Homo-oligomer: A and B are copies of this chain.
């Protein structure tokens, strides 16, 4: 479904702004009324996406595996259900890409590493089970960096093949950014969902920690790992996250706040904390800074109050707390939690494992249990502190990346603006609302823990407002 394709007239107000560089985006939610009315079918949608895949995959290398026959069969089955007026769920017939650290019964799961060459799980991860039982069409496995914490991989940016797509959910973001798929799953332990979403011009969503199950997904750091969703539209992103939550839940955890097939009603933020961070001076691209300031001006014109470190004591205290070693200490938690199973990989295949994994395991071996417990306690205290400092605001607004995707493929870019929300477990979106030199840059919106639906409502309002001005 290209630009101007059928179905586009149903949701004009929700179409993404032209400067967002994602005019290629395809949307399941936008096609749904046509599925229901018999004007379009999941199979036809799939074939349009397969055309894109055929046209661009050789260049983009977004997929680690494709199951085209399986996808066609699943799309046909979904089509039959729509014809009978009995779709299985809110995602019936939706095409989805699955990051290649998530177990899939019908495709290998190679974790982006030769350590798992040829590995074929018997069963789907919980998120994949939820989608497949709901009738979603699992098109393929998307390329990840090694174990979702490696330096780089084979995928390139769909907007400029000389640039990184970001990582570690590289293939998911590239496939969505190129319009090969409406939506794909990612994970985020530092910045692995929002960074590639920002670089590829897609919506990225990392929910409150624990809102979506990670069962059957290869872990890095359980207390920091989040399932994420990357979509061409906010609707599809929210729909997929909602379905995964409602289908299975996550043992012992609350469901995704506001989970629903429909987007929450747009809600205007009254007050947002503007987070600069030390990276504002250290690494932000001047043009990205200008684009960000332009967005902020539009929000202010619409009456949104923005409070920053220069004019608000809470914002200043927040900045100070977050840049006072919090990130570095959280990385030690990650290191400790990586002992299983990474110590086995190092022992067996040390030469195949990247230096950063060696370094983290080496660091973990020096840590005493009491140090780990102290870090957990400190993090719990930090969460309370940040909650208190955010109390008077609807959320935090900042960049998702310090600029557009950098040139080169040696690494997947900076995660500087993304680790804060990840390590605090706060919900965050990257919204494709800025552009620098024709390349996308994401606006990051961070919400209150457990307030995912409320944050999505703010995101919807902001997307509409920025598009309208």
Contacts and interface: CB of A to CB of B under 8 A. Distances in A.
B369 A251 contact: no
A130 B215 CA distance: 21
Given A133-B343, A340-B126, A222 B246 contact: no
A339 B213 CA distance: 12
A437 interface: no
A362 to B, nearest CB: 15
A246 to B, nearest CB: 6
A122 interface: yes
Interface residues of A, number: 39
Contacts of A105: 344
B119 A221 contact: no
Interface string A368-412: 010011001000000000000000000000000000000000000
A223 B249 CA distance: 12
A122 B119 contact: yes
Contacts of A133: 343
B221 A251 contact: yes
Contacts of A246: 369
Give the interface centre of A126, A130, A222, A344 by most chain B CB atoms within 10 Å: A344
Contacts of A369: 245-246, 249, 255, 259
Contacts of A221: 251
Contacts of A219: 215, 251
A160 B122 CA distance: 38
A124 interface: yes
A114 interface: no
B372 A123 contact: no
Given A119-B122, A219-B215, A344 B255 contact: no
A325 interface: no
A252 interface: yes
A327 to B, nearest CB: 18
Interface in A104-135: 105, 116, 119, 122-124, 126, 129-130, 133
Nearest to A339: B248
A436 B439 CA distance: 78
User: Copies per complex?
Assistant: 2
A254 interface: yes
A257 B23 CA distance: 56
A341 interface: yes
A247 B365 CA distance: 9
A336 interface: yes
A17 interface: no
A8 interface: no
A451 interface: no
B116 A340 contact: no
Contacts of A344: 105, 123-124, 129
Contacts of A248: 339-340
Contacts of A126: 340-341
A216 interface: yes
Give the interface centre of A124, A336, A341 by most chain B CB atoms within 10 Å: A341
A452 interface: no
Contact of A215 (B249, B254, B336, B340): B340
Nearest to A122: B119
Contacts of A340: 126, 129-130, 213, 215-216, 248
A247 B345 CA distance: 17
Interface of A: 105, 116, 119, 122-124, 126, 129-130, 133, 213, 215-216, 219, 221-223, 245-249, 251-252, 254-255, 259, 336-337, 339-341, 343-345, 369, 372-373, 376
13 contacts: A124-B344, A126-B340, A129-B344, A130-B340, A215-B219, A215-B341, A221-B251, A222-B251, A223-B252, A248-B340, A249-B369, A249-B372, A255-B373
5 closest A-B pairs by beta carbon, nearest first, are: A222-B251, A126-B340, A223-B252, A251-B337, A255-B369
